[in-house]
Amino acid sequence: MPAIEKDRGKKKRAAAVAEKASPILTVATPKASKKGSSVLREDCYRILDEHDKANPKEDPNLSPEVLLKMYRGMAFVRAFDERGMMLQRQGRIGFYVPSFGQEAIQIGTASAYTNDDFVFPSYREPGIFLYRGADLFEMICNLYGNSGDVCRGRQMPVHYSFADIKMFSVSSPIATQVIQAVGAAMAFKIRKENSVAVAYCGDGGTSENDFHSGLTFGGAYQAPVVFVVTNNQYAISVPVCKQTAARRIADKGAGYGIPSIAVDGNDVLAVHKVMSEAVARARAGEGPTLLECVTFRMGPHSSSDDPSRYRDEKLYEAWKKRDPILRFRQYLSDRKLWNDKKEEQLQAEMKAQIAEAIERAEKLPPPSTDSIFEDVYAEPTPQLKEQQKQLRAEEALRGKFENSSEAFPL
C-alpha cells in the first residue's frame, strides 16, 4: 500500500476510535419514536434512562461534591423562577422570563467550563449567572430596576450584566450574542489565550441571521467557541416544525463544518458530559461545537404569555414526567447522596435567602434622575450638562418624579 493509502487507513481507524469514544463525533440519524417509548427523540445522547437509572458505561462518575453543587444549582434556579413569576403576578415587578424545565441545560453546561471562560447568555439562563457566583441581591435589583441595579433600570427585568464574572449583558434581540461570542473567541485565538467563549440561544434563534453569521465565522476561523442551542420546541408560540425544514437543529452545524450533537436536555449528566468534551475540543484548538439540547418549555415564554393557547397539552404532560430536577434527585438518592430531610432543609434555605434579598431590594429607591446622564461619556458633553440643568429645574418646579416601574406589565 502506498504511504498515502497507509495514512488514510490510519486516519480512518483513528476516526473510528474517536467516534466510539466521543458522543460528539458520533453522527446519529433521527429515528421515528416507537409506540410507548420516551417522548425524547431517539437520536439524542443520554445517560439516564426513562426510569432515571444511569448507563454505567456512560456515567461520568462525578464527585459527590460536584454532583451536590449541580443539584443545588438546579433547585435554586427553580426556586428563583417561581418567586420571579410570583412577584410579577403580584404587581411588584413588571415582567419575568422563567426557565422551568431547562435547569439541566443551564447547570449541566455551566459546570463544564471554568471561571476563565466567557459566557454570552440569552434571557433564559438565570441559573448560569447564579452558578458562576452572580450576586443574588443584584439580580433581584435588576428585576425591580432600582438604584441597586447595575444597569440603573435601563434594561428590562432578567437582562442581567455581570462583567466581573465574565457574563455578558443579556439583550432582547434574538441571537445577537452568537456573533459576539464568536468575535471574542477569534480574539482569544489571535492572542493565544486559553479561554473559551460559550454562546446560548433558543431554537428560534437559529432562524436569525446572527446565528448563521456566527457559525460561518466560527467554523471558518476554527474559533474556540461552543454554541449551545436550547430546543424547547417553541419560539414564543411558533413550533420548531414551522421554523425550519431541518429534522434536527444539530444538523445545521454540518453546513459550517462544525461537529454537532443532540443531547437530552433533561439529563444533566449527559449535558455535562457533552459540554465538557466540547469545551475541551475548543481549548485544544479543534474549533467550535454545536450542542442541541432537546427539552420542552414547561412554562410560558414570559409572564405576558399564555401557552395553553397553542401548546399541545399531551406533549406537555409527557415532558412533565421527565422533570430534570426530579430525575437528578432520583439519581442522587440511588447513590445515597440525597434524601427527603436534605431536600426539606434545602428548600427552606433557598426560600429564606431569596426572601431576604427581595426584602432588601424593595427598600431601595429608584435610580436618581441624575443617573440618566451618567455612564454614557467619560466627561459629560455641554449638551448633556444643559439637559441635566433643565431637568433639575423642572424637578424643582414640579417636585420629585414618581417611580412608575410597577405599572409596566409587558
Which one of 41, 248, 297, 329 is the catalytic residue? 297
What are 272's three cell numbers? 455535562
Yes or no: say if 247 and 294 are a contact pair by the CB < 8 Å rule: no
Q: Is the dihedral of CA 229, 245, 295, 57 positive or negative?
A: negative
Burial zone of 402 (CB within 10 Å; 0-12 exposed, 13-18 middle, 19+ buried): exposed
310 is catalytic: yes
Q: Report the alpha-carbon distance of residue 393 to residue 187 in Å, rounded.
A: 47
Q: Report the alpha-carbon distance of residue 297 to residue 280 in Å, rounded.
A: 29
With CA atoms as reference, report the closest residue to 204 among 178, 226, 185, 225.
Answer: 178
With CA atoms as reference, report the closest residue to 74 among 105, 52, 50, 112.
Answer: 105
Which one of 83, 159, 272, 301 is the catalytic residue? 301
With CA atoms as reference, report the closest residue to 142 among 70, 84, 98, 103.
Answer: 84
Stretch (H or E) spanning 229: strand 225-231
Buried b (16+ CB within 10 A) or exposed e, 2-26: eeeeeeeeeeeeeeeeeeeeebbbe
With CA atoms as reference, report the closest residue to 304 among 236, 356, 372.
Answer: 236
297 is catalytic: yes
Which one of 154, 310, 335, 392 is the catalytic residue? 310
Q: Is the dihedral of CA 347, 361, 170, 310 positive or negative?
A: positive
| Helices first, then strands: H and E counts in the chain | 12, 7
Q: Report the alpha-carbon distance of residue 361 to residue 158 in Å, rounded.
A: 15
What are 222's three cell numbers? 476554527
Stretch (H or E) spanning 351: helix 340-361
Yes or no: say if 265 and 142 are a contact pair by the CB < 8 Å rule: no
CA dist 14 to 7, 11, 22, 254, 366, Å? 10, 5, 12, 20, 61
78 is catalytic: no
- Residues annotated as catalytic (active site), given as ranges: 297, 301, 310
